Structures are given as C-alpha cells and as structure tokens.
Amino acid sequence: MSLGQRLRYGVYAAAVTTAALLVLEAIFGWWVPPTRDEALWRPGVTPWVASDDGFYRPNPESPLPVAAHPFRVAKGDAWRVFFVGESFLRGVPYDEIGTIHGWLHERLLAGHPSVPVEVVNASMSAQNSARIRETVDFALEHHPDLLVVATCNNEGTLQPSAVTRALHDSGTFRALRSALRSGEALPTHTLQNPDTEAVRDAFRQNLRAIVESTGRRGVPLLLCTLPLNLRYDGDESGLAHAADRWEAPGTWSAPACVVPGRDAVRAGRHAEAIEALRGCEEAEALRWLGLAQAGLGDPVARRTLEQYVELMPRNRCRPSFQAVIREEARRGGHVTLVDLDARSRSRAPAGLPGSEDFTDYCHLRWGAQADVADALIEALDGRGLGPRGSGLRAPVPDRGALVEAARLAGTLRAPAEQRRGRR
C-alpha cells in the first residue's frame, strides 16, 4: 500500500471514528439528562416567549419551565409583579390555590378591581441564587412594576470551572458516571461545599447584583428572608404525591450514637435524650439535642438548632445567610426588606417554627403561605408600591373555605413538575 493510500485510509478511519463518537455523544446526551446541579450550571434561556395571542407564555425550550402565568406583550395599563425564587416562592407543595402568589393575586384583585393586575411567578424548584440572579435579569426586560425575590434554601454549591462544566455537558461523561454509580441513591438535598465562607460570599455577590440591577432600572424590590423550620424532625422527604402529604422513602439513616437520643425525643423523653446524646460528636446530634432542649422549654434550644442548620442546612437558609439578606437589603433605597424569618419566629411556639407552618423541611402550609402574602401586602402598603390609586380596603377572604372547595374539586394539587417527580 502506498503512502498516499495509507494517508487516505487514516483520514477515512479518523472521520468514521469521529462520526461514531458524535452519534454516541448525542445518544448519551439524550439518554442521561443532566442532574439538577448540572442544569443550574448551564446558561439559562429566556423563561418566556411571545405567542400569537399577544401574551408571553412559558418557553417550551427551557429545561426548567416557569409556571403558566401569561402576561401581555403590550403591557398597556397593567400593573405587573414578578416573583423570582425557588420552590418556596413557587408555592410548593401547592400549584395555584394555597400559594403565596395565589393569595397575593386574590388580595390585589379585590383591592384594585379597576386595574389589570399581573402576578407572574418566575420561581422554579431547585434553583440557587446564581440562577435567581439570571432570572431577575430576564424579568427586568419585561417592564415590571415590582420584583419579589426570595432565595437562600438551595445554597451550597459553587459555580464550576470551565473544564468541569464542559465535562458535565458531555453525555458520554454522564453515562460513564451513571454506570459507575449504578444503584447509588441520589441526594434529596443540595450538596454542600465544605468552604461555607466561599458559598456565603458567592451568595452575597448574587444578591448584590440583584440589588444593583433593579436599582439601575428603577424597579422596586421586595427582598425576603426565608422562614426557617428549626423544629424539623423528619428524615429526607420524598416526592410530593398530594397537596399537603409527602412520602418518606427512608434513604437516610442517623449515625449510631444519635439513634438512642433521637428515639427518646420522638417518645417524648427529653431529659433521657439529652443524657443519651452526651459524647456523640456527630453534627446530627445537635438537631436532636436542640429538639430535646425545646421539649424541656430550655431557651438555649434556639442557639443549638441554629448551630445545626449552619452545619447541615437540609435545604434551609442558614442564619448567617439570613444576615447577609438583611445587610444587602440596606444597600438601596428602592429595596424593602420583608423579614419572613422574624415574622415566622414571632408566630411560633417559643419562637421555634415547626410543623404548624411547614409541610416538610422548608415548604409552607397554605395558611402560612397566606401569611407571607399578607406580609407582602403590608410592605406594598407601607411603601406605597401597589397598583395605582388608593385602592379598596377589601376584606381578607375566607381562605379555609377556598382551600376546602379546591380540595373537594380536586384542584388543590402540587405543581406539574412535582407531579412528574421532579424536585
């Protein structure tokens, strides 16, 4: 075989191999979708696209679709507010009835019947502040009169390097990883980078960018702390299967030295639990020690439980991150702090929020979501940020009756992405 023939065969073989690898990459990319964290690393696409009927609707090309809340392409005289946040602000475990945005919309419509009110929820499950920052920039392109931002529960990871992002964009890489991890349970909660200070700094930078971008556009911003479920006593929660009930698949087990104290707390034997947890150096022991102290009415319980959240947030907002939110809210005259954390504590027994308000580790029952909506209304009224005109002092509706009617009609349900099994 001549040198020319060998070169041609070499080029042909390289071309065939490259084509085969590209086909495999495409197959693996379709077969093994990116994880939640990998999806967060990718640049977002606009959440909304204009439709032929004159409304913006959710972008079908987005891997993380927003709620189906259409709003006018030609804004006209509408008053428009965007919610931008995580599953907390999305209203999980409810879809429309029982949610923060649903209750707020009801009150705005009742109080300003002559104004076209548009409440657009751009919140999505499993988002962190980096993606929230990106969504805020998209929302600012649509002439909002107000933005409501609540983010903190999903902090824990740092943005990856270019090399790491490229690897995780590869379907072949994801397929190999999936094969090596076959049978390994995926974590329910956000993985935590051990450099908490770096995560906190990144969170601060994202909040500051949101404050600055809304300030440049002259858009009022309600920046919220998040209610903190200090008395959460469950294990990893599962997928929503009804409006206010959750599966617990039992994919997590407490360390051995924690089990006697945990069992004693669950049996109501709090003094025995404290004794059983002595000498246990596992971080999880702090949770059950704090719950035992709370059971005995010891005021030190709050400090113990906050220390636990700092170490093991379980998709809750660390107290030190709540402090960052309060600090950044003071950076602009257009920003109003809505301190939902303090409001939740003021409502809770002994100042320790728990299952009376929460369905799980961070999501609220419909009554607590209604209280958040009321807090937003109070902030709007206090700063004169609501729809134009003085409005009406409309009575608060009988929310219990509305929820019961929705339950009977089968419309009290989880968001569509939750019903499909996504967190």
Pairing mode, strands 71-72 and 55-58: antiparallel
d(CA 101, CA 120): 8
**Angle (CA) 148 90 223, round 5°:** 20
Neighbours of 280 (CB within 10 A): 19
Backbone angles phi, psi at 137, to 5 degrees: -60, -40
Amino acid letter, 191: L
pLDDT tens for the chain, 423 residues long, are 676 666 777 666 666 666 666 666 566 555 566 665 556 555 667 899 999 999 999 999 887 788 999 999 999 999 999 999 999 999 999 999 999 999 999 999 999 998 999 999 999 988 899 999 999 999 999 999 999 999 999 998 886 655 455 555 666 666 666 665 555 445 556 777 889 999 999 999 999 999 999 999 999 999 999 999 999 988 754 333 333 443 344 456 788 999 999 999 999 999 999 999 999 999 999 999 999 999 999 999 999 999 999 999 989 999 999 999 999 999 999 999 999 999 999 999 999 999 999 998 999 999 999 999 999 999 999 999 999 765 667 678 899 999 999 989 988 887 765 554 433
- Global confidence as pTM: 0.85
Pairing mode, strands 48-50 and 71-72: unpaired
Neighbours of 183 (CB within 10 A): 4
The ranges assigned to domains in the chain are: 3-31, 39-167+190-232+317-419, 259-311
Superfamily of domain 39-167+190-232+317-419: SGNH hydrolase (3.40.50.1110)
